[in-house]
Amino acid sequence: METMLNLIIAAFSLLISSFGILAGAQGIGINYGLLGDNLPSPDKVVGLLNSRNIKLVRLFDPNPIVLTALHNSGIEVILGTLNNDLERLANDPTFANTWVQNNVIPHVQAGTSFRYITAGNEVIPGNLAGFVLSAMQNLDTALTDAKLNIPVSTAISTGVLGVSFPPSQGAFSEASSVDMTGIVGFLASKKTPLLVNVYPYFAYANQPKDVRLDYALFTANGTVVVDGALNYANLFDAIVDAMYSALEKAGHPDVSVVVSETGWPSAGDAIGATVENGMTYNNNAVAHVTSSAGTPRRPGNAIETYIFAMFNEDLKPVGVEQNFGLYHPDMTEVYHVNFP
């Protein structure tokens, strides 16, 4: 009787967690990276997240200590696979099953809710691109076999676009088209969003003579870009809508976009990388995506968005890459961001 009761409790826990992603409203989250040798312990980070009412977090790999710290925290998790695991996940369904058994099921049973599993980060186009769809399919099968309703997607950069301006002309590049067509077909069949990393900062930093700073920071006073009947006052919306245009041209206007990364560096000896600009961008981004304004091409909907990143990470390449954090490793703020 006791064994049967334990099985029922475990099954109920799995069921509740599997439906957690359906209950969670779209909102604002944060990327929690670990490329630092002086970062606080995960339990302290989880406490900080809850103190700021941040209930969505994205992890780049299944670190068991971090996942354990998230047990019963009330924080939903996007869990990524390592890019180096994509080939095995694609070619070996048994490995995909083991990955789920080791990295998902024990934490679901312990009270962690997974919002999405992502197969790889920013590998399209590239040598690993051809493994992404099969990895997604094998992970999805493994989750289904485990009776878990957790969507599987991938996170891409805007490097998949061959055309991004004007937004209505957005289209996947020749190098990305075959892989992206298969991926978005799978996502459409599962009613799962595509995760996209959106960085107005890099567009501005790469072309400061052509991209206005106020347009990148959400501070422009009125329309900056006119695209047919649509008017754009910020670059974030233009980038997201270019991706929607690409999805439409690929035959899948029904696939939605989740912004898996966006942010602005506060330092790094590079153009525009200042504390003031970082604070301005991230506060305006949070206000915009939680306002239900949507984008000109997809108005009226909040945009599920994850700020990059939680901490400044000193093991990243020297420069702006080390300075996207909202917090220093001692958990003091680099600058304040108003989370809802």
Q: Which residue has the tokens 């099921």?
A: 105
Q: Which parts of the chain are beta strand (E)?
A: 28-32, 56-59, 76-80, 113-121, 152-157, 161-163, 171-172, 194-197, 225-227, 230-232, 257-262, 305-307
Annotated catalytic residue, options 76, 87, 122, 313? 122
Residue with tokens 């970062």: 39
Give me the half-sphere count of Cα atoms (radius 13 Å) on the Cβ side of residue 76: 24
Structure letter (DSSP) for residue 158: G
pLDDT of residue 26: 61
The per-residue DSSP string of 65-91 comes to: HHHHHTTTSS-EEEEEPPGGGHHHHHH
Measured CA to CA in angstroms, residue 128 lies from 88, 125, 179, 313, 333 at distances of 11, 8, 10, 25, 36
pLDDT for res 146: 98
**Which of 76, 248, 261, 304 is an active site residue?**
261
Helix axes 174-190, 132-145, angle to 10 degrees: 20
3-class secondary structure, 98:
helix
Give pLDDT tens digits along the chain (340 positions).
434 434 433 444 444 343 333 333 469 999 999 999 999 999 999 999 999 999 999 999 999 999 999 999 999 999 999 999 999 999 999 999 999 999 999 999 999 999 999 999 999 999 999 999 999 999 999 999 999 999 999 999 999 999 999 999 999 999 999 999 999 999 999 999 999 999 999 999 999 999 999 999 999 999 999 999 999 999 999 999 999 999 999 999 999 999 999 999 999 999 999 999 999 999 999 999 999 999 999 999 889 999 999 999 999 999 999 999 999 999 999 999 999 8
Does 276 participate in catalysis according to the annotation? no
Q: Is 160 helix (H, G, I), strand (E, B) or coil?
A: helix
Cβ partners under 8 Å of residue 252, min gap 6? 184, 185, 187, 188
Q: Which residues of 242-280 are buried (b: 16+ CB within 10 A; e: fewer)?
A: bbbbbbbbbebeebbbbbbbbbbbbbbeeebbbeebbbb
DSSP state of 270: S
The three-class DSSP label of residue 119 is: strand
Predicted local distance difference test score (pLDDT) of residue 335: 98
β-strand 161-163 against 171-172: which pairing, if any?
Answer: antiparallel
Tell me if residue 122 is catalytic: yes
On the CB side of 208, CA atoms within 13 Å amount to 5
What pLDDT is recorded for position 14?
Answer: 43
Q: Taking a C-beta distance cutoff of 8 angstroms, is the pair 108, 17 a contact?
A: yes
The pLDDT tens digits of the residues spanning 255-306 come to 999 999 999 999 999 999 999 999 999 999 999 999 999 999 999 988 999 9
Q: What is the pLDDT of residues 114-128, one digit of tens each?
A: 999 999 999 999 999
Exposed e or buried b for every residue in 290-299, given b needs 16+ CB within 10 A? beeebbbbee
Number of other residues whose CB lies within 10 A of the CB of residue 86: 24
- Cβ contacts of 159 within 8 Å, gap of 6 or more: 122, 124, 125, 173, 176
**76 vs 59, 70, 195, 257, 259, CA distance in Å?**
11, 9, 16, 18, 16
User: 195-223 burial, b if ≥16 CB within 10 A, otherwise e?
Assistant: bbbbbbbbbbbeeeeebebebbbbebeee
Place of tokens 């980070």: 45
Query: Coil, strand or helix: which one is 220?
Result: coil
* pTM of the predicted structure, to 2 decimals: 0.92
